[in-house]
Amino acid sequence: MEPEMEIPVTTKPEKFVVSKNADSFFSGIYNVYVFIGRFFKEVFSRPFEFKEVINQCYQVGYKSLPLVSLTGFITGIVFTKQSRPSLSNFGASSWLPSLISIAIIRALAPLVTALIAAGKVGSNMGAELGSMKVTEQIDAMEVSATNPFKFLVVTRVLAITFMLPVLVLYTGFIGMIGAYLNIHANELTSFTAFFKSAFGTISFLDIFSSIFKATVYGFTIGVAGCYQGFYAQNGTQGVGRAANLAVVLSMFLIFLEEMVIVQFVNAIR
Protein backbone atom coordinates (compact mmCIF):
# COMPACT_ATOMS: atom_id res chain seq x y z
CA MET A 1 0.00 0.00 0.00
CA GLU A 2 1.37 3.34 -1.00
CA PRO A 3 1.09 6.05 1.64
CA GLU A 4 -1.64 8.63 0.96
CA MET A 5 -0.31 11.92 -0.26
CA GLU A 6 -1.38 14.96 1.75
CA ILE A 7 -2.85 17.73 -0.37
CA PRO A 8 -1.37 21.04 0.71
CA VAL A 9 -3.96 23.57 1.83
CA THR A 10 -3.36 26.95 0.31
CA THR A 11 -4.17 29.91 2.54
CA LYS A 12 -4.27 33.55 1.62
CA PRO A 13 -1.16 35.39 2.73
CA GLU A 14 -1.74 37.75 5.63
CA LYS A 15 -0.30 40.67 3.69
CA PHE A 16 -2.82 40.07 0.91
CA VAL A 17 -5.74 40.17 3.36
CA VAL A 18 -4.48 43.38 4.97
CA SER A 19 -3.94 44.96 1.57
CA LYS A 20 -7.43 44.00 0.46
CA ASN A 21 -8.96 45.51 3.62
CA ALA A 22 -6.96 48.70 3.16
CA ASP A 23 -8.05 48.97 -0.48
CA SER A 24 -11.67 48.51 0.55
CA PHE A 25 -11.35 51.17 3.27
CA PHE A 26 -9.82 53.83 1.03
CA SER A 27 -12.18 52.93 -1.80
CA GLY A 28 -15.11 53.53 0.57
CA ILE A 29 -13.71 56.94 1.56
CA TYR A 30 -13.33 57.87 -2.10
CA ASN A 31 -16.90 56.79 -2.86
CA VAL A 32 -18.21 58.96 -0.01
CA TYR A 33 -16.16 61.88 -1.35
CA VAL A 34 -17.67 61.41 -4.80
CA PHE A 35 -21.15 61.09 -3.26
CA ILE A 36 -20.81 64.37 -1.36
CA GLY A 37 -19.35 66.10 -4.42
CA ARG A 38 -22.29 64.94 -6.50
CA PHE A 39 -24.67 66.27 -3.84
CA PHE A 40 -23.22 69.79 -3.99
CA LYS A 41 -23.29 69.64 -7.79
CA GLU A 42 -26.93 68.56 -7.95
CA VAL A 43 -28.21 70.89 -5.23
CA PHE A 44 -27.47 73.99 -7.34
CA SER A 45 -28.71 72.60 -10.66
CA ARG A 46 -32.22 72.69 -12.07
CA PRO A 47 -34.89 71.47 -11.65
CA PHE A 48 -35.29 72.25 -7.96
CA GLU A 49 -37.52 69.78 -6.12
CA PHE A 50 -39.13 72.27 -3.73
CA LYS A 51 -42.27 70.20 -3.14
CA GLU A 52 -40.29 67.09 -2.25
CA VAL A 53 -38.01 69.09 0.06
CA ILE A 54 -41.06 70.43 1.91
CA ASN A 55 -42.52 66.92 2.08
CA GLN A 56 -39.28 65.57 3.55
CA CYS A 57 -39.14 68.47 6.02
CA TYR A 58 -42.58 67.40 7.19
CA GLN A 59 -41.45 63.77 7.49
CA VAL A 60 -38.24 64.68 9.32
CA GLY A 61 -39.47 67.55 11.49
CA TYR A 62 -43.15 67.27 12.31
CA LYS A 63 -43.23 63.49 12.70
CA SER A 64 -40.23 63.64 15.06
CA LEU A 65 -41.87 66.10 17.46
CA PRO A 66 -43.49 63.55 19.83
CA LEU A 67 -40.25 61.63 20.43
CA VAL A 68 -38.16 64.81 20.64
CA SER A 69 -40.64 66.41 23.05
CA LEU A 70 -40.66 63.45 25.40
CA THR A 71 -36.88 63.05 25.34
CA GLY A 72 -36.18 66.76 25.84
CA PHE A 73 -38.65 67.04 28.73
CA ILE A 74 -37.23 63.98 30.51
CA THR A 75 -33.65 65.19 29.91
CA GLY A 76 -34.40 68.51 31.60
CA ILE A 77 -36.02 66.87 34.62
CA VAL A 78 -33.41 64.14 35.08
CA PHE A 79 -30.41 66.44 34.69
CA THR A 80 -31.91 68.87 37.20
CA LYS A 81 -32.55 66.10 39.75
CA GLN A 82 -29.02 64.76 39.32
CA SER A 83 -27.38 68.20 39.62
CA ARG A 84 -29.27 69.45 42.70
CA PRO A 85 -27.49 67.29 45.36
CA SER A 86 -24.03 68.32 44.15
CA LEU A 87 -24.84 72.03 44.22
CA SER A 88 -26.65 71.71 47.57
CA ASN A 89 -23.50 70.29 49.17
CA PHE A 90 -21.72 73.58 48.38
CA GLY A 91 -24.72 75.77 49.20
CA ALA A 92 -25.07 76.84 45.58
CA SER A 93 -28.59 75.72 44.76
CA SER A 94 -29.34 79.19 43.37
CA TRP A 95 -26.93 78.42 40.50
CA LEU A 96 -29.03 75.49 39.35
CA PRO A 97 -30.93 77.37 36.58
CA SER A 98 -27.65 78.70 35.15
CA LEU A 99 -26.04 75.26 35.21
CA ILE A 100 -29.05 73.66 33.53
CA SER A 101 -29.24 76.28 30.79
CA ILE A 102 -25.53 75.99 29.99
CA ALA A 103 -25.67 72.19 29.87
CA ILE A 104 -28.82 72.01 27.75
CA ILE A 105 -28.10 74.82 25.30
CA ARG A 106 -24.41 74.09 24.78
CA ALA A 107 -24.35 70.30 24.75
CA LEU A 108 -27.41 68.23 25.62
CA ALA A 109 -29.97 69.66 23.18
CA PRO A 110 -27.80 69.33 20.03
CA LEU A 111 -26.34 65.96 20.98
CA VAL A 112 -29.52 64.29 22.21
CA THR A 113 -31.56 65.55 19.25
CA ALA A 114 -28.91 64.42 16.76
CA LEU A 115 -28.74 60.93 18.28
CA ILE A 116 -32.53 60.63 18.15
CA ALA A 117 -32.54 61.79 14.53
CA ALA A 118 -29.77 59.33 13.67
CA GLY A 119 -31.79 56.46 15.11
CA LYS A 120 -35.15 57.49 13.69
CA VAL A 121 -34.51 59.47 10.51
CA GLY A 122 -31.13 58.02 9.49
CA SER A 123 -32.30 54.43 9.72
CA ASN A 124 -35.50 55.30 7.86
CA MET A 125 -33.51 56.88 5.03
CA GLY A 126 -31.19 53.90 4.78
CA ALA A 127 -34.05 51.39 4.80
CA GLU A 128 -36.27 53.34 2.40
CA LEU A 129 -33.61 54.02 -0.23
CA GLY A 130 -32.16 50.54 0.25
CA SER A 131 -35.54 48.97 -0.44
CA MET A 132 -35.94 51.09 -3.56
CA LYS A 133 -32.46 50.10 -4.70
CA VAL A 134 -32.82 46.33 -4.31
CA THR A 135 -36.28 46.35 -5.94
CA GLU A 136 -34.83 48.33 -8.87
CA GLN A 137 -37.14 51.29 -8.38
CA ILE A 138 -34.16 53.65 -8.60
CA ASP A 139 -33.17 52.09 -11.94
CA ALA A 140 -36.75 52.55 -13.14
CA MET A 141 -36.57 56.26 -12.27
CA GLU A 142 -33.43 56.63 -14.37
CA VAL A 143 -35.15 54.96 -17.31
CA SER A 144 -38.12 57.34 -16.99
CA ALA A 145 -35.82 60.38 -17.37
CA THR A 146 -36.01 61.27 -13.65
CA ASN A 147 -32.86 62.06 -11.72
CA PRO A 148 -33.16 59.70 -8.72
CA PHE A 149 -30.16 61.20 -6.93
CA LYS A 150 -31.66 64.67 -6.97
CA PHE A 151 -35.18 63.55 -6.11
CA LEU A 152 -34.27 61.01 -3.42
CA VAL A 153 -30.92 62.04 -1.96
CA VAL A 154 -30.65 65.81 -2.33
CA THR A 155 -34.13 66.46 -0.96
CA ARG A 156 -33.61 64.25 2.09
CA VAL A 157 -30.20 65.67 2.97
CA LEU A 158 -31.49 69.23 2.62
CA ALA A 159 -34.56 68.45 4.71
CA ILE A 160 -32.71 67.07 7.71
CA THR A 161 -30.01 69.76 7.43
CA PHE A 162 -32.71 72.46 7.62
CA MET A 163 -34.93 70.81 10.21
CA LEU A 164 -32.41 69.57 12.78
CA PRO A 165 -31.50 73.11 13.99
CA VAL A 166 -35.22 73.79 14.46
CA LEU A 167 -35.61 70.55 16.42
CA VAL A 168 -32.57 71.42 18.54
CA LEU A 169 -34.04 74.80 19.53
CA TYR A 170 -37.34 73.10 20.30
CA THR A 171 -35.60 70.41 22.38
CA GLY A 172 -33.73 73.08 24.32
CA PHE A 173 -36.97 74.92 25.07
CA ILE A 174 -38.79 71.75 26.18
CA GLY A 175 -35.78 70.72 28.28
CA MET A 176 -35.80 74.11 30.02
CA ILE A 177 -39.53 73.75 30.72
CA GLY A 178 -38.90 70.35 32.33
CA ALA A 179 -36.06 71.82 34.41
CA TYR A 180 -38.26 74.72 35.53
CA LEU A 181 -41.06 72.43 36.67
CA ASN A 182 -38.63 70.40 38.77
CA ILE A 183 -36.98 73.48 40.29
CA HIS A 184 -40.34 75.13 40.96
CA ALA A 185 -41.59 72.00 42.71
CA ASN A 186 -38.56 71.93 45.03
CA GLU A 187 -37.44 75.57 45.45
CA LEU A 188 -40.68 77.40 44.51
CA THR A 189 -38.75 79.52 42.02
CA SER A 190 -40.94 81.76 39.88
CA PHE A 191 -41.05 81.45 36.10
CA THR A 192 -39.54 84.92 35.59
CA ALA A 193 -36.73 84.40 38.08
CA PHE A 194 -35.85 81.01 36.62
CA PHE A 195 -35.51 82.17 33.03
CA LYS A 196 -33.79 85.42 34.03
CA SER A 197 -31.15 83.41 35.88
CA ALA A 198 -30.94 80.75 33.18
CA PHE A 199 -30.45 83.03 30.19
CA GLY A 200 -28.23 85.46 32.06
CA THR A 201 -25.31 83.08 31.49
CA ILE A 202 -26.15 82.21 27.85
CA SER A 203 -24.34 84.18 25.15
CA PHE A 204 -24.92 84.52 21.44
CA LEU A 205 -21.93 82.25 20.84
CA ASP A 206 -23.66 79.44 22.77
CA ILE A 207 -26.79 79.66 20.64
CA PHE A 208 -24.82 80.01 17.41
CA SER A 209 -22.61 77.03 18.24
CA SER A 210 -25.69 74.87 18.97
CA ILE A 211 -27.28 75.81 15.64
CA PHE A 212 -23.99 75.21 13.84
CA LYS A 213 -23.63 71.81 15.51
CA ALA A 214 -27.17 70.88 14.53
CA THR A 215 -26.55 71.86 10.90
CA VAL A 216 -23.39 69.76 10.72
CA TYR A 217 -25.07 66.82 12.47
CA GLY A 218 -28.07 67.01 10.15
CA PHE A 219 -25.90 66.98 7.05
CA THR A 220 -23.91 64.04 8.44
CA ILE A 221 -27.03 62.00 9.21
CA GLY A 222 -28.52 62.73 5.80
CA VAL A 223 -25.38 61.80 3.87
CA ALA A 224 -24.74 58.64 5.91
CA GLY A 225 -28.33 57.40 5.63
CA CYS A 226 -28.75 58.19 1.94
CA TYR A 227 -25.33 56.83 0.99
CA GLN A 228 -25.92 53.49 2.68
CA GLY A 229 -29.39 53.16 1.18
CA PHE A 230 -28.54 54.40 -2.32
CA TYR A 231 -25.81 51.78 -2.72
CA ALA A 232 -27.46 48.90 -0.87
CA GLN A 233 -26.97 45.40 -2.28
CA ASN A 234 -27.85 41.74 -1.61
CA GLY A 235 -31.62 42.02 -1.35
CA THR A 236 -33.47 42.33 1.94
CA GLN A 237 -30.31 41.53 3.90
CA GLY A 238 -28.67 44.55 2.29
CA VAL A 239 -31.61 46.76 3.30
CA GLY A 240 -31.21 45.82 6.97
CA ARG A 241 -27.47 46.29 6.75
CA ALA A 242 -27.92 49.73 5.16
CA ALA A 243 -30.29 50.86 7.94
CA ASN A 244 -27.95 49.55 10.64
CA LEU A 245 -24.82 51.11 9.13
CA ALA A 246 -26.63 54.42 8.67
CA VAL A 247 -27.32 54.63 12.42
CA VAL A 248 -23.92 53.38 13.59
CA LEU A 249 -21.92 55.54 11.19
CA SER A 250 -24.02 58.64 11.93
CA MET A 251 -23.60 58.30 15.69
CA PHE A 252 -19.87 57.67 15.40
CA LEU A 253 -19.36 60.75 13.21
CA ILE A 254 -21.58 62.87 15.46
CA PHE A 255 -19.37 62.16 18.48
CA LEU A 256 -16.23 62.96 16.47
CA GLU A 257 -17.73 66.21 15.22
CA GLU A 258 -18.84 67.08 18.76
CA MET A 259 -15.26 66.86 20.01
CA VAL A 260 -13.88 68.96 17.14
CA ILE A 261 -16.56 71.67 17.34
CA VAL A 262 -16.29 71.95 21.13
CA GLN A 263 -12.53 72.46 20.88
CA PHE A 264 -13.03 75.09 18.17
CA VAL A 265 -15.73 76.98 20.11
CA ASN A 266 -13.71 76.91 23.33
CA ALA A 267 -10.75 78.36 21.45
CA ILE A 268 -12.96 81.24 20.27
CA ARG A 269 -14.50 81.68 23.71
* pTM exceeds 0.75 for this model: yes
Tell me the Cα Rg of the chain.
24
In the chain, where the domains are located: 64-268
Is residue 3 over pLDDT 60? no
Average pLDDT for 130-139: 85
Name the residue among 192, 169, 167 with its Cα closest to residue 180: 192
Average pLDDT for 216-228: 93
Is residue 111 over pLDDT 90? yes
| pLDDT score for 203 | 85
Average pLDDT for 208-221: 94
Enter the DSSP assignment of 193.
H
Q: Where are the alpha helices (DSSP H) in 121-234?
A: 123-134, 137-143, 148, 155-187, 191-199, 204-230
Q: Which amino acid is at 24?
A: S
